[in-house]
Amino acid sequence: MEKCYECEGNLETIKDRLYHYTESGLDYIWLGGVIQYKCRKCEEIFVEIPSINELHLLIGKTIICKKELLSAPEVRFLRKEIGMKSKDMATALSIEAETYSRWENGKQSIASCHDKGLRMIYVMNASEKMGKVLFQGSRFAFHEIAKTAPKKSKKIKFTPSEWMNRPDEPIFGMGVCPA
C-alpha cells in the first residue's frame, strides 16, 4: 500500500468514483475513470490524471463549442491554457486591460463580439500548442492586427503568389500584417 505525501498515512485506492476536477478553475468538471487515493489518516485526496494536455484540450473544445457567452472562469481558463498574459489577450482583442480583467473577475460580462474573438484566439493557439498547426504565430498576428489601422481603398489587389500557397504552408504567419 502506498503512503500519503502529507502525513505518511496509508492510502485507500478509489477507482469507481467521479473526481471533481476543481484544479481546472471550473466548478463543473467531473472526471470518470481516474484513480484516486484517499489518506486514511489525514483524509487528503490525491488523483492520477493521465494525458492532462489532451484533457485540457477537450475542456477547451467543450467551452468554445457552447452556445452561451463565456463565463469569467471560462475566460480565465482559455487564456491560461494558451499561456497568454491578460494584458496580451486584451491587446489581441483590442480592448483595455482593465476591461479584460473585469471579465475574468466576473465584474463585467464579455460582449458577444469579444467572446467570439477570444474563442478564435484559443482555437488558433491551442492547435499550435498541441502540435497541430492550423495557423502559425497567431498570437502575434492578432497583436499586430490590433495595432494596424486599416487603409481606405476601393480596390484590394492580389497576385497569384499571394493565394497560391503550398497546402502545408499556413496562410497566417508572422508577417500577416505587412506595413
What are the φ/ψ torsions at residue 34 (nearest 5 degrees)?
-105, 150
Q: Is the pTM of this model over 0.85?
A: no
CB-facing half-sphere around the CA of 53: CA atoms within 13 A: 7
Query: Which residue is associated with the grid cell 494584458?
Result: 87
42: left (phi over 0), alpha (psi -120 to 50) or beta: alpha
**pLDDT (tens digit, 0 to 9) for every residue of the chain, 179 residues total?**
589 988 999 999 998 888 889 999 998 999 988 889 999 999 999 998 888 888 888 888 888 888 899 999 999 999 999 999 999 999 999 999 999 999 999 999 999 999 999 998 988 888 766 665 444 555 555 455 444 444 554 554 555 544 445 555 554 454 444 44
- List residues bridging with 92 in a β-sheet: none
- The pLDDT of residue 150 is 47
Q: What CATH number does the domain located at 53-147 have?
A: 1.10.260
Domain ranges of the chain: 11-50, 53-147
Q: Return the H-helix or E-strand segment holding 38.
A: strand 35-39
8 Å CB contact between 115 and 123: no
Size (the chain), residues: 179
- List residues bridging with 3 in a β-sheet: 10
DSSP category for residue 161: H
Closest by CA to 113, choosing from 98, 133, 93, is 93
- The pLDDT of residue 149 is 44
The beta-carbon contacts of 19-24 under 8 Å, at least 24 apart in sequence, are: 19/47, 21/49, 24/56, 24/59, 24/77
Q: Give, rounded to a whole angstrom, the gap between the first and last alpha carbons of the chain.
A: 64
